[in-house]
Amino acid sequence: MALSSMTFAPLALLLLLLGSTSANLSPNFYASSCPKLFPTVKHVVQSAIAKEKRMGASLLRLLFHDCFVQGCDASLLLDDTSSFRGEKTAAPNNNSVRGFDVIDKIKAAVEEVCPGVVSCADIVVITSRDSVVILGGPYWEVTLGRRDSKTASFSLANNNIPPPTSSLSNLISKFAAVGLSKKDMVALSGAHTIGKARCINFRSRIYNETDINGSFAKKRQKKCPRTAGSGDNNLAPLDVQTQNYFDNDYYENLINEKGLLHSDQVLFNGGSTDSQVKTYTTSPGTFYRDFVTGMINMAAINPLTGSKGEIRKNCRKIN
Ligand code: HEM
Ligand SMILES: *[C@@H]1O[C@H](CO)[C@@H](O)[C@H](O)[C@H]1NC(C)=O
Ligand SMILES: *[C@@H]1O[C@H](CO)[C@@H](O)[C@H](O)[C@H]1NC(C)=O
Ligand SMILES: *[C@@H]1O[C@H](CO)[C@@H](O)[C@H](O)[C@H]1NC(C)=O
């Protein structure tokens, strides 16, 4: 009896501590400390998207690239300095992730109404939700209470964020490594219903792959020359139908072999995720529900809570 309680007490404590990280996140976290938080964020996101539609996509993507590296801790937002290498120039991010100026504007507006209270990590979470809603996608309640890291990881940014050349099994394992399921992966990939990609990331697909619609490949080849190095940064929409509208077209494109990235089309090419893709083409409600679940799960990856980390004053640098 005495022996078993001695054995199990530390285990119970450990379970309590592990459970407490996401249990500490709550929709009401800033209810009294920053009651104007939600309208303040939404206002800035709205005007940024009104100015440039693509920005909604860019802001949504920030959550993915932040949360896959050390968890959702705003590590992505830290600028490089002469003595600090952050994540912004890692391969998946360099010349690609954008929207940092909008995050700065949101942070400044939030600091105006409640200085020193709201983390940059939570701002990224709220901003991603607002972007989806503004572009016509589903609404969901976000949980808050994350704190900001004092570190970043260039190497984890390179290792954890899957490249567009990924096979289906690589995608599944990169998501599993951060605790997300295959189902989450397929639903979250539906984010590619908005935004753009650079030629360098789809060149080999449009010239060399066979599971691609011929007229679609030709259309994309017009602004993406075959020769490596030429037109690398030319942009094309990820969703051939409605690049500024958050809908389920992405999955219809896959069924028609019009996925732009290799990593898009592998979700529908005879493998274990075909049936989920098919379901989303006929049931947008199921896609929205699973996407929201995926976003909530992704936003819960390894948050800093309690007295860990800090509340940054400026999202680009540690205090
Ligand atoms: C499944 C693995 C994924 C891979 C391999 C992948 C890869 C990519 C690539 C290569 C681009 C184009 C970047 C460029 O050419 O500069 C891109 C864009 C984008 N990704 Fe993903 N992605 C994945 C999952 C996700 C997830 C989970 C989200 C968010 C929930 C997301 C949101 C976006 C958005 C919105 C864009 C367009 C951004 C813009 O226009 O600025 N992606 N992704
Ligand atoms: C990031 O991109 C810039 C501009 O293309 C390039 O000069 C630099 O070498 C890249 N950084 C890394 C770490 O690859
Ligand atoms: C297509 O594949 C061939 C053979 O693997 C390769 O040499 C070539 O560079 C590829 N072309 C493009 C545009 O990726
Ligand atoms: C490819 O896409 C075009 C344009 O949407 C369509 O007319 C054509 O039937 C498609 N080709 C095949 C083989 O499905």
CATH of the domain at 280: 1.10.420.10
Query: pLDDT by residue (tens digit) across 209-268?
Result: 999 999 999 999 999 999 999 999 999 999 999 999 999 999 999 999 999 999 999 999
What's the CA gap between 301 and 234, in Å, rounded?
A: 33
247 within domain boundaries: yes
If asked whether residues 149 and 192 sit together in one domain, one would say: no
Evaluate: CB of 307 within 6 angstroms of ligand 4: no
If asked whether residues 18 and 150 sit together in one domain, one would say: yes
Evaluate: CB of 149 within 6 angstroms of ligand 1: no
> Is 242 assigned to a binding site?
yes
pTM recorded for the entire structure: 0.94
Residue 32 pLDDT exceeds 90: yes
If asked whether residues 218 and 266 sit together in one domain, one would say: yes
Query: pLDDT by residue (tens digit) across 62-88?
Result: 999 999 999 999 999 999 999 999 999
Span from the CA of 266 to the centroid of ligand 1 (angstroms):
15
Name the token pair of 221.
């080849």
Evaluate: CB of 200 within 6 angstroms of ligand 3: no
Q: In terms of Cα–Cα distance, which of 71, 42, 73 is closest to 59?
A: 42
Active site residue 65: yes
Region of poorest pLDDT, from 9-18, 194-203, 257-266:
9-18
Which residue puts its alpha carbon closest to atom 10 of ligand 4? 213
Dihedral pair phi/psi, residue 166, rounded to 5°: -60, 145
> Is 87 assigned to a binding site?
yes
307 within domain boundaries: no
Span from the CA of 154 to the centroid of ligand 2 (angstroms):
13
Are 201 and 247 contacting, i.e. CB atoms less than 8 angstroms apart?
A: no
Q: What domain range includes position 135?
A: 14-161
